[in-house]
Structure 1
Amino acid sequence: MDSNLDHIQLPELNLPHFEPQLQEKDGRMWVFDALRKKHLVLTPEEWVRQHWINFLITQLKFPKGLLALEKGLIYNSLVKRTDLVVWDKDGKPYLLIECKAPKVKLTQKTIEQACMYHKELKTPFLVISNGLQHICLSFNSFTEKFTQEKCFPEPPV
């Protein structure tokens, strides 16, 4: 990080450490998003999302081209945006990741919100994360039920 950014307190997350490109502009912190190839305002939620992107690509070996950010979908006639969707090689949604700020507790309400997005996309896997705690669920489309998993899903084949 740049030396002038040392005063910024960014929480250590329960995800592999990486050094995102940060810059200060107009009194705000910005982070470079390698997927969208542009700088975004660094919010606590964005800090978590950027760590997830890095983790998926560098550690879990998901192909970068299969990741999409803030995909729009309509739920109860409201336009909503998912945080991170991973597609399989056939172009079907595979993994939905809902990112929260580290201060946000993962409660039943948080899980229910992520499940609303899931109803539209019907991904086999759903992860809800505040960067410190992660809940990974697999979805059985026949029983329409979620099961909590101990491991993150492998990249789609």
Structure 2
Amino acid sequence: MQQLNLPIYKFRIKSSENKYFIFDIIRKKYVVLTPEEWVRQHFVQYLIEEKNYPISLIAVEKKLTINKLTKRTDILVFTSEGLPHIIVECKAPSIKITQDTFDQIARYNLKLEANYLITTNGLEHFYCKMDTENEQYIFLKNIPNYKDN
């Protein structure tokens, strides 16, 4: 798999029937290793190892319903009170982050009302803090560590 613009982490990877699988520590199971999953697993580790978010506050592929359509957030981080705090939308490294990506995560956030939105393809990362009062994004260089919230 491609080297990403994130720290290098050790993953449990296995192959079966000409497919590769990566162990997801959040879902506690092996999942098919796609380029998008490679980015997702790196970003989960980044949140845990670099930003010190507890595993217990992180959900992967969390279902939500928007206009009677079932969607899934790639990564959703909750506050210790159980409220949505960070939504992460992951794309494969070959997919460019565009306005459509931001529109997708913004639609999710109309329902979830998280404080931070992140879009990443593993090579580029965009971090936004929500300014709900002025209904706009404030782009950041990074997101705060867990203890700094």
TM range (shorter): over 0.9
Letter in 2 for 1:102: P
User: 32, 50, 61: which one pairs with 1:59?
Assistant: 50
Structure 2: segments with no counterpart, 5+ residues: none
- Regions of 4+ moved over 6 Å: none
Q: Give the counterpart of 2:60 among 60, 69, 76.
A: 69
What amino acid is the match of 2:119?
Answer: I
- Structure 1 residue runs without a partner (length 5+): 1-9
Opposite residue 65 of structure 1, the aligned amino acid is S
Equivalent residue number for residue 46 of structure 1: 37
Is the partner of 2:146 in helix, strand or coil? coil
The equivalent residue for 1:93 is: 84
1:19-66 CA-to-partner distances (Å, cap 9, x unmatched) read 211110111100001111110000111000000111111111111100
How far 1:154 sits from its partner (Å)? 2.2
Give matches, 1:1-157, under 5 Å: 10-155=1-146, 157=149
Structure having the higher Rg: 1
Alpha-carbon distance between aligned partners in 2 of 1:46 and 1:136, rounded to the nearest angstrom: 20
SS of the equivalent of 2:71 reads strand
- Name the structure with the higher strand share: 2
Secondary structure at the aligned position of 1:56 is classed as: helix
The share of aligned pairs that are identical, in percent, is: 39
Q: CA deviation at 1:119?
A: 1.1
Is the partner of 1:118 in helix, strand or coil?
helix
> Which deviations, in whole Å up to 9, do the C-alpha atoms of 1:102-122 show, x marking residues without a partner?
000001111111111111111
Contact 1:125 1:153 in 2 (8 A): no
Q: What TM-score, normalized by structure 1, do the two folds share?
A: 0.91
1:118 and 1:134 map into 2 onto residues whose CA distance is 18
How many residue pairs get matched? 148
